[in-house]
Chain A
Amino acid sequence: MAEAAIKLGGKKKSIFMDKVKEILPQGNLSLCLTCGLCSSGCPATGLESMDPRKFLRMVALGMDDEILASDWPWCCTMCQRCVRVCPMQIDIPQLIFNIRKARPREDRPKGIRDSCDAAMKTETLSAMGTSVEDFIFVVEDVLEEYQESQPEFADMQAPIDKKGAEFFLNQNSREPVTEPDEMVPLWKILHLAGADWTYGSKAWTGENYCLFIADTDNWEKITRAQAAMTTELGCKTYLNTE
């Protein structure tokens, strides 16, 4: 084997896992049975020659430099497929989140970071930087087009800021900008179901890149703004499409 051996033993050193244990007292990472159930179901297995079990193993063995240097944590989708089946209920996405956070913000992946930053610059919180006016224009324009071309949907509505609607519907930022037609199928379903819904003109964004970049403060800001808009419109249910 060409690789150098991993050095273990000697006097106990404090390792990253000890810190995570303090943050995550409920999920004891060292309980891992190395059974591999997580890796068998993880969409990120094999990426960067890594998988959740192996990653957790590096944490358990105190390979702190390697874990902080690895780009694999940015491959995790936070889907929770691993936690669901793990016999020890080990919260790998939580661990991943803390590892992402442990990197200086400027060293985190630029694409996700820029999306988070863009969201923080507009009231819509759109990662694409879409303004309130552009969003309203696109929604109304697309709606009109479908009402005309598909007579069976002549009555379909796509309300914005409708006070007292039952559902507050959020919207992925990409669609209004790059594929506006993709918004329509859900409108149709809601129309046929007779649902009373609305978009917000502000904070309508569905995604939260600040969560993925492990920017806790901005993640919180986005979530609070989404909740506030829903409350302001008096909607009972927040319909999350992401």
Chain B
Amino acid sequence: MILSPGTKPYDPSGLDNLGYGKYPNVVTSDGFERILSAGGPYFGHVMRPLDREEPKSIAWLQCVGSRDTNTCGNGYCSSVCCMYAVKEAMIAKEHIHGDLDCVVFNMDMRTFGKDYEKYFLRARDKEGVRFEKARVHTITEDTETGDLNIKYADETGEMKEETFSMVVLSVGMTIPDSAVELAKKLGIDLNHYNFAKSDPFKPVETSKSGIYTCGVFQGPKDIPGSVTEASAAACLAGADLSESRGIDTPVVEVPEQKDIAGDDPRIGVFVCNCGINIGGVVDVPAVQEYAATLPNVVFADSNLFTCSQDTQEKIKEMIIDHNLNRVVVASCSPKTHEAMFMETLEACGLNRYLFEMANIRNQNSWIHSKTPEIATKKAKDLVRMAVARSTTLKPLNEKVITVNQSALVIGGGIAGMNSALNLGKQGFEVVLVEKDDVLGGMSLNLHHTIEGNAVRPYIEQLIEEVNAHEKVEVLTGAKVSAFGGYKGNFTTEVITGQDGEKRSIDHGAIVVATGAKEYKPTEYLYGEDDRVVTQVELGNILEEKGAADLDTVVMIQCVGSRNDEMQECSRICCQNAVKNALHIKKLNPDAQVFVLYRDIRTYGLMEDFYKEARELGVIFMRFDKDAPPEVAAGKDGLSISVKDHIMQQNVSIEADMLVLSAGMRAENTDELSGVMKLNRNPEGYFMEAHVKLRPVDMPGEGIFLCGTAHAPKLISETISQAQAAASRATTFLANSEIKLSAITAKVDVDHCVKCLTCVRSCPFQVPTFNTEEKVLEIDEAMCHGCGVCACVCPRQTIQLSFYEDDQLSCKIDALMAGGI
């Protein structure tokens, strides 16, 4: 059983000082999302509720219903609201073409996810969103204008007053009562905030075996994190059931394909009303009537919802009754619906590629809603173009290839080991390749998680399990030296041992888990003075020597992160500082600890530990990027100067030790990514196929990604991502055969002049020059069908099936034929 009952936005009506529910122009962030949405109350036009005027200025108030044990009792950070506030400000600015002032009032901007800091900087430095380190006590309304007045003390203590057209309350996430009840019924434990209790080493397991959890119910998190955990939960549930996988699967019977060779085109056109989405603007009967008059059209119809199950049956009937051999649907986007209609064709023996769509909704009725006549005319044009193209379509056959049902995992840290182990549990053979002589990776340097769980015993047990698993073969001291093949059929050459023994491994899927390291600082006297150490080194010192001899410790955050050289946030170092500060305080309550920070990013449930650290007397001081602390070494100690953000006065701290919160740096994978042709971002982290929807898939099919090789993250997050990668790889490997898309590039070797423009242009390095045969080759199995080569070939000798030149140019001709 997988529990993902999700979240409910915090309801701020109880906070009378903010006026939500009383002043119409004070909205919650989820309310504002609706205002921004094309499907929302104002159809995406940004207006304020009171008078439907476009706002001139909007303020966001952060941490409403989060990080507060007084007014709401939610002591945790909701993790997502800083990022969505930045996003909402950016979108609002985009929608309102005039000037819009956006101000985000915050304590800390917590943009800690992959590429989030860059987005935040763009909002601040390029788009002019203002971020004010201040909080607003009370909102009052100007009863005449409906504007909202805000007074706040800025960081220097000066009172400021501003007026905004709208205020958005960035409300946090809470667990709905219904989820609490459900948990009670099932007998699973919840934590003190009602999130499902879990262990950092078993992030998606609840207190009851066989019941898994994911998403916000597990702890506050964003979409990529939730999607990842969903796959992780599926992985564990799937492993429990792996023996019965493939049993009882209903098989879809596909009738034999009709041969249409030599037949004249017989086109059926189905025009959709999409409820009122299209029909409310476009004169659908007129379009249907018009379609019937077009060449080769033998049948035309219209439907309320063309995508409904009933309509599929109707289309099938019409295909048979009218002996149709081309189908055109004029409705919405092929992105979302093409595959489904193609299946309908297949189900009555028509090749799926004899299908074409005209998008008369997204590209027509939605944008021309104020001019129905023009919209109807454009719908006719689009249908005429689609009909013209459908005439040129040919049946295409999809190649079926076998899948080698085994995997290669690269990297033997927590991520690699967890994904290998879980793939083994799912019943697949796995080879785990680790370049070092031992398994464990970065985690070998860590002692405890912030929750206090010991890392070493966990790692030792994991290594033991991996080594003992019959399906997993571990190669340590191993290096990937050559690579070839395509999804389902890769071959990787690995060099092992001192004598450099070569071994070739065939496998169907790949999991990349090459990890990351601690940044080696060059700043703040690191390496020059041995009283200056990193957080990881401090962890070792505390473990070995304790903290009895420490009077004062200063920590500096964001060392090697969030600067010009490395813009991104390293995500782990704020919690690391808090973790070690707590450790010091627990070992020696008299030791004084100062943390010099830029934003404290103890997101999610880790906010409790930030609170505990303050409670025990750890002092946190904020500094600006442009005024970093200064460090001087003396005989008896170090002296650290910085300006206190509240006193606005210089502070000089005498310390025994300076600890640098050195960030993370991706492992050097230049060689590996060169050999395997895997894309990385400028920071050296590997890229996922889609940030939100496919967070553990890589762009190439059959290749998956997890751990810090993807981006900085904690052990618990690494584990769930590794389980997710195993789950995604399982989905891929579970089929013994896969069908390849027929949309691939084909080169006419007779006319190819061997200029190799395609070789240089293909983003996936597919076209190769066969030096023996002296011909250019494009491997169908590897081609992604992007069409780049077909566009750049100066001799036009490359054609992309389904999008051949004449299959596109005929549309332009048809458009022109209508006159403009």
Q: Does B688 contact A (CB under 8 A)?
A: no
Q: Does B646 contact A (CB under 8 A)?
A: yes
Enumerate B590-613 residues with CB–CB distance to A below 8 Å. 590-592, 594, 611
**Contact residues in B for A37 (Cβ distance below 8 Å):** 135-137
**Contact residues in B for A94 (Cβ distance below 8 Å):** none
Measured CA separation A68–B68 after assembly (Å): 30
A66 and chain B: residue at smallest CB distance? B647
Q: Does B67 contact A (CB under 8 A)?
A: yes
Q: Is the CB of A35 within 8 A of B107?
A: yes
B interface, size bucket: 35 or more
Q: Is the CB of B644 within 8 A of A31?
A: no
B67 and chain A: residue at smallest CB distance? A87
Q: Is the CB of B649 within 8 A of A1?
A: yes
Produce 1/0 per residue, A78-101, CB < 8 A to B: 000100111111000000000000
Produce 1/0 per residue, B638-679, CB < 8 A to A: 001101111101111111000000000000000000000000
**Contact residues in B for A57 (Cβ distance below 8 Å):** 644, 646-647
How far in angstroms is the closest Cβ of chain B from A45? 5
Cβ contacts A to B, 11 pairs, < 8 Å: A8-B594, A8-B652, A9-B554, A12-B551, A31-B615, A33-B107, A34-B107, A40-B137, A40-B159, A61-B647, A85-B70
Q: Does B552 contact A (CB under 8 A)?
A: yes
* Given A5-B641, A34-B646, A35-B107, A51 and B653 contact (CB-CB distance below 8 Å): no
**Contact residues in B for A60 (Cβ distance below 8 Å):** 619
Q: Is the CB of B615 within 8 A of A54?
A: no
How far in angstroms is the closest Cβ of chain B from A43? 10
* Given A9-B592, A89-B70, A41 and B137 contact (CB-CB distance below 8 Å): yes
Q: Does B445 contact A (CB under 8 A)?
A: no
Produce 1/0 per residue, A1-42, CB < 8 A to B: 101011111111000000000000000101111111111111
- A residues bordering B, Cβ < 8 Å? 1, 3, 5-12, 28, 30-42, 45-46, 49-51, 53-54, 57-58, 60-61, 81, 84-89
**Contact residues in A for B158 (Cβ distance below 8 Å):** 46
**Contact residues in B for A85 (Cβ distance below 8 Å):** 17, 70-71, 137
Measured CA separation A56–B767 after assembly (Å): 68
Find B646's partner among A11, A31, A54 (CB 8 Å cutoff). A54
Measured CA separation A5–B621 after assembly (Å): 15
**Contact residues in A for B153 (Cβ distance below 8 Å):** 36, 39-40, 42, 45, 51, 53
**Contact residues in A for B652 (Cβ distance below 8 Å):** 5-9
**Contact residues in B for A1 (Cβ distance below 8 Å):** 643, 649-650
A56 and chain B: residue at smallest CB distance? B646
Q: Is the CB of B650 within 8 A of A5?
A: yes
Measured CA separation A7–B619 after assembly (Å): 14
Measured CA separation A54–B107 after assembly (Å): 15
B74 and chain A: residue at smallest CB distance? A87
Find A33's partner among B67, B151, B594, B616 (CB 8 Å cutoff). B67
Q: Is the CB of A36 within 8 A of B644?
A: no
Find B653's partner among A9, A30, A46 (CB 8 Å cutoff). A9
Measured CA separation A7–B647 after assembly (Å): 13
* Given A5-B651, A7-B652, A12-B551, A45 and B157 contact (CB-CB distance below 8 Å): yes
**Contact residues in B for A84 (Cβ distance below 8 Å):** 17, 71
Measured CA separation A45–B137 after assembly (Å): 12
How far in angstroms is the closest Cβ of chain B from A54? 5
Produce 1/0 per residue, B614-637, CB < 8 A to A: 111101101000000000000001
Measured CA separation A213–B202 after assembly (Å): 58
- B residues bordering A, Cβ < 8 Å? 17, 63, 67-71, 107, 133-138, 151-155, 157-159, 551-552, 554, 590-592, 594, 611, 614-617, 619-620, 622, 637, 640-641, 643-647, 649-655
Q: Is the CB of A41 within 8 A of B649?
A: no
Q: Is the CB of B615 within 8 A of A30?
A: yes
**Contact residues in A for B70 (Cβ distance below 8 Å):** 85-89
Measured CA separation A49–B154 after assembly (Å): 13
How far in angstroms is the closest Cβ of chain B from A91? 11
Shortest 8 CB-CB distances between A and B: which pairs?
Answer: A41-B137, A39-B153, A9-B654, A87-B68, A89-B70, A40-B137, A5-B650, A9-B653
Q: Is the CB of A36 within 8 A of B155?
A: yes
Q: Is the CB of B651 within 8 A of A46?
A: no
Measured CA separation A40–B139 after assembly (Å): 11
**Contact residues in A for B654 (Cβ distance below 8 Å):** 7-10
**Contact residues in B for A42 (Cβ distance below 8 Å):** 153
B651 and chain A: residue at smallest CB distance? A6
Q: Is the CB of A5 within 8 A of B647?
A: no
**Contact residues in B for A6 (Cβ distance below 8 Å):** 644, 647, 649-652
**Contact residues in A for B653 (Cβ distance below 8 Å):** 8-9
Q: Is the CB of B591 within 8 A of A53?
A: no
**Contact residues in B for A86 (Cβ distance below 8 Å):** 70
Measured CA separation A5–B17 after assembly (Å): 38
Q: Is the CB of A31 within 8 A of B611?
A: yes
How far in angstroms is the closest Cβ of chain B from A151? 37
* Given A30-B617, A45-B157, A50-B157, A40 and B647 contact (CB-CB distance below 8 Å): no
Q: Is the CB of A61 within 8 A of B157?
A: no
**Contact residues in B for A50 (Cβ distance below 8 Å):** 157
**Contact residues in A for B63 (Cβ distance below 8 Å):** 87
Find A87's partner among B69, B591, B644, B650 (CB 8 Å cutoff). B69
Find A40's partner among B67, B151, B592, B614 (CB 8 Å cutoff). B151
Measured CA separation A42–B641 after assembly (Å): 31
Measured CA separation A86–B68 after assembly (Å): 8
How far in angstroms is the closest Cβ of chain B from A95? 15
A11 and chain B: residue at smallest CB distance? B551
**Contact residues in B for A45 (Cβ distance below 8 Å):** 153, 157, 159
Measured CA separation A32–B551 after assembly (Å): 23
Q: Is the CB of A9 within 8 A of B552?
A: yes
Measured CA separation A57–B155 after assembly (Å): 12
Measured CA separation A37–B650 after assembly (Å): 24
Measured CA separation A11–B653 after assembly (Å): 11
Q: Is the CB of A49 within 8 A of B134?
A: no
Measured CA separation A163–B138 after assembly (Å): 44
**Contact residues in B for A5 (Cβ distance below 8 Å):** 641, 649-652
How far in angstroms is the closest Cβ of chain B from A156? 35
Q: Is the CB of A54 within 8 A of B647?
A: yes
* Given A31-B614, A88-B70, A12 and B650 contact (CB-CB distance below 8 Å): no
Q: Is the CB of A36 within 8 A of B69?
A: no
Measured CA separation A58–B648 after assembly (Å): 11
Measured CA separation A30–B17 after assembly (Å): 25
* Given A30-B617, A37-B137, A87-B69, A12 and B592 contact (CB-CB distance below 8 Å): yes
Measured CA separation A86–B71 after assembly (Å): 8
Q: Is the CB of A10 within 8 A of B614?
A: no
How far in angstroms is the closest Cβ of chain A from B157? 5
Please indicate which of the listed interface residues A36, A84, A89 has the most CB atoms of chain B within 10 Å of its own CB: A36
How far in angstroms is the closest Cβ of chain A from B675? 49
**Contact residues in B for A51 (Cβ distance below 8 Å):** 153, 157
**Contact residues in B for A46 (Cβ distance below 8 Å):** 157-159
* Given A36-B152, A41-B138, A87-B69, A58 and B647 contact (CB-CB distance below 8 Å): yes
Measured CA separation A5–B651 after assembly (Å): 5
Measured CA separation A3–B648 after assembly (Å): 10
How far in angstroms is the closest Cβ of chain B from A62? 10
Measured CA separation A53–B647 after assembly (Å): 9
**Contact residues in A for B637 (Cβ distance below 8 Å):** 9-10
How far in angstroms is the closest Cβ of chain B from A169? 28
A58 and chain B: residue at smallest CB distance? B647
How far in angstroms is the closest Cβ of chain B from A35? 5
* Given A6-B652, A41-B137, A51-B157, A61 and B644 contact (CB-CB distance below 8 Å): yes
How far in angstroms is the closest Cβ of chain A from B218? 24
Measured CA separation A39–B134 after assembly (Å): 10
Find A53's partner among B157, B552, B615, B655 (CB 8 Å cutoff). B157
How far in angstroms is the closest Cβ of chain A from B108? 9
A39 and chain B: residue at smallest CB distance? B153
**Contact residues in A for B551 (Cβ distance below 8 Å):** 9-12
How far in angstroms is the closest Cβ of chain B from A119? 33
* Given A8-B594, A49-B157, A51-B153, A34 and B645 contact (CB-CB distance below 8 Å): yes
